[in-house]
Amino acid sequence: MTRALLRSLSNWFTWIPVVATALMAFAWGRTLGTFAVMLVAVALIGAVLTAVHHAEVVAHRVGEPFGTLLLALAVTVIEAALVVSMILSGGEGASAIARDTVYAAIMIVCNGVVGLCLLLGGLRHHEIEFRVDSTSPSLAVLISLAVLVLVLPSFTTTTAGPTFSVSQLAFAGVMSLVLYAAFVFFQTVRHRDYFLPVISGDGVADEHAAPPSVRETWVSLGLLLMCLVAVVGLAKLMAPVIQSGVSAMGAPAAVVGVAIAMLVLLPETVAAARAARANRIQTSLNLALGSALATIGLTIPVVAALSVVLGFPLVLGLPAKEMVLLALTLVVSVLTLASGRATVLQGTVHLVLFAVFLFLAVVP
């Protein structure tokens, strides 16, 4: 019975990416009716859950932190492509799409994902442990990138408004790449042991499972990439529906970017939450902080390069309210992750900040 169930699930995990990608290709460029929107939503959820499964298969084969890094990089590369396509398509607020997306991703990851993982882990295991050796350097790079990209443009004087000049933009893009490349080297080569899971309690069981074969790993990697393409494509198909809903609510245009960022980050959120429930909070934090770093370290250089080459305007500096929320989030994150231990209290604080971010995005 168990083998039959596993075989059935394996078949579903194989076919869902194909079906979701085919549905995305069929619906692309068409006006979606109510039934089509429902199909796209179901396919999107299926693609997210399947992406998490295949990411875990690959991660189990290559080990930490390469598995979480792979998922973070894959999602971020596709997210960057989505941001660029939306900028090039123009429209109201196009020049601020990159800023709004990066800001939303940081708030979602640092408050929503981290808060959810700490809450789930704390409720199930009371007190959870992780490595300060990994969280402190990650936060140092994240804070540096966030200030460089999202805060400094509001204070430079070469150009008017929250923007960089061409030379400043090119410099910021190069420095973002340098910082992210240094972090990846630190995480995967120089100090990989800092990012390995803290084994305690019932988190040990997962480490003894037999790793998948090379063939299964390559198949899962291909299906993972297909799922991620489907997730982003289906999310973009849902964007007009979300935009219509946002307009009907009378909410700011930036809410559309928040909603799309939440959809794109769903695979990482589900994977991180499952790891937290299994008492592998280090894996959750690797995935969460790695995603936030990759979002800035990869998306901004790509968008900056295209802005310089194609000459389209790029607004990067945050308004005062968002700047305060970003600063509050980074300070609380440092306090939360400085001790190597956390409980449900820290998780609750981060989730409250996430709720504040969502509420003020809708009611500015």
Cα–Cα distance between 175 and 261 in angstroms, integer? 24
- Mean pLDDT throughout 91-106? 79
pLDDT above 60 for 5: no
Q: How confident is the model over 236-283, as pLDDT tens digits?
A: 777 667 667 766 777 776 776 787 777 777 777 888 888 888 888 888
- Mean pLDDT throughout 335-346? 87
CATH of the domain at 6: 1.20.1420.30
pLDDT for 278 equals 82
pLDDT for 93 equals 61
**Using an 8 Å Cβ cutoff, are 187 and 69 in contact?**
yes
**Using an 8 Å Cβ cutoff, are 195 and 282 in contact?**
yes
pLDDT for 81 equals 67
DSSP 80-144: HHHHHHHHHT--TTGGGHHHHHHHHHHHIIIIIIHHHHHHHHHHHHSSEE--HHHHHHHHHHHHH
Q: H-helix or E-strand containing 58? A: helix 34-62
Other C-beta atoms lying within 10 Å of the C-beta of residue 158: 10
Cα–Cα distance between 198 and 194 in angstroms, integer? 10
Domain around 86: 2-362
Q: What total number of domains does the chain contain? A: 1
Structure pTM?
0.79
Return the SS3 of 52.
helix
Q: How confident is the model over 308-338, as pLDDT tens digits?
A: 887 777 889 999 999 999 999 999 999 998 8
340: left (phi over 0), alpha (psi -120 to 50) or beta: left
Q: H-helix or E-strand containing 246? A: helix 214-249
Other C-beta atoms lying within 10 Å of the C-beta of residue 302: 19
Cα–Cα distance between 34 and 230 in angstroms, integer? 20
- What does DSSP say about strands 341-342 and 128-129: parallel, antiparallel, or unpaired? antiparallel
Cα–Cα distance between 57 and 218 in angstroms, integer? 10
Cα–Cα distance between 7 and 18 in angstroms, integer? 18
29: left (phi over 0), alpha (psi -120 to 50) or beta: left
Rounded percentage of the chain residues whose pLDDT exceeds 70: 80
Q: H-helix or E-strand containing 341? A: strand 341-342
pLDDT category at 204 given cuts 50, 70, 90 is: very low
Cα–Cα distance between 203 and 105 in angstroms, integer? 28
